Amino acid sequence: MCDRPKILIVSRSFGVYCSEAIEILKGFSLVERRRVSTKDELKNVVKGYDGLVLGNEKLDREVLLEADKLKIVARHGVGVDNIDLDAATEKGVVVTYTPGANSDSVAEYAVALMLNLMRRINKAHEETSKGGWRRFLGFELTGKTVGIVGFGRIGRKVARKLSGFDVKILVYDPYVDREDVERQGAKPVGLEDLLRASDVVTLHVKLTGETKHLINGERLKLMRRGAFLINTSRGAVVDEEALYEALKDGKLGGAALDVFEQEPVNPDNPLLTLDNVIVSPHMANFTVEALRRMDMMNARDLELFFKGERPINVANPEVLER
């Protein structure tokens, strides 16, 4: 059919572990896959396509202006902070995403980072694999107080997965009812109180103007001496310069960071020089199961849209009301 929509896949992981998603797209559209490394490359290849499956590539106003036929963008991920949503809405482009698809993956990873950081498993592996036999004194998670900042899908699953560790859970989320938090076996508190009382603080908030540098120098000073910080949300939620000082001075016992303000992380970032920091390349969500869920959510929403029906997971629903 000459009038079949054309869909461009630039996400590197879409369809790799779920051929069914690709088959769904091929059932109603012409599908092409391109790998892009820069904004200019994306700007050059997006012309002429009706749909776009986007990974972590940045889709800003300039790129959208070049997308002459684009009607829908399916973000292969749970966040849309790499998309200029206002520009997409102005242009009448529907943006879908995959909320909740990676909640279990990220929650499990956050707990894994807590255990690794507190028991220094990465350091023990490094020493032993080199022929050493040095033991590292660690801390039990059992009996500790864990502060969860952000109590959406992931934060709730972290609380649930921690339930077997006999920990006290504090929660800060001004947008969740107190009764809702308590039903999950946690105690709702203010952010400052959470920071003062927690042995471990784990971050699970979206990056917004309100949450940028939510954990800043003043708030880091409130944390218990020797406490641990886990960040699997977005890098800019934490003031990295302030965190470096708190870790270097021994105020904090350690930090585990899966995300950074600049990604890929700058090799000169001073946090990489510290012995009490664990880092990874934004991979908390990177599991076969999560990718399959994202694939299918993207594919179904694209199929619904091009069949003239309403997609399920729309980030800018006002476009559909026009």
Q: Domains in the chain, start-ordered, CATH in brackets?
A: 6-101+287-321 (3.40.50.720), 103-279 (3.40.50.720)
Q: Where are the beta strands (DSSP E) in the chain?
A: 6-9, 30-33, 51-54, 72-75, 94-96, 145-149, 168-172, 187-188, 200-203, 227-231, 252-257, 277-279
H/E stretch holding 7 reads strand 6-9
pLDDT per residue as tens digits for the range 80-121: 989 999 999 999 999 999 999 999 999 999 999 999 999 999
pLDDT tier for residue 3 given thresholds of 50, 70 and 90: confident
Q: What is the mean pLDDT of residues 215-236?
A: 98
Contacts of 218 (CB under 8 A, 6+ apart): none
Q: What is the mean pLDDT of residues 219-241?
A: 98
Model-level pTM? 0.90
- Is the pLDDT reported for residue 41 higher than 80? yes
**C-alpha span between 205 and 98 (Å, rounded):** 16
Catalytic: 204?
Answer: no
**C-alpha span between 249 and 311 (Å, rounded):** 50
Task: Report the pLDDT value the prediction gives residue 2, as an integer from 0 to 100.
Answer: 52
Catalytic: 119?
Answer: no
**C-alpha span between 171 and 175 (Å, rounded):** 11
- Active-site residue among 156, 234, 261, 293? 234
Strands 94-96 and 145-149: unpaired
**C-alpha span between 234 and 314 (Å, rounded):** 21
Catalytic: 35?
Answer: no
- Is the pLDDT reported for residue 1 higher than 70? no
- Is the pLDDT reported for residue 299 higher than 50? yes
Is residue 256 within 8 Å of residue 233, measured between CB atoms?
no
Strands 277-279 and 252-257: parallel
- Active-site residue among 213, 282, 292, 300? 282
- Active-site residue among 218, 263, 289, 309? 263
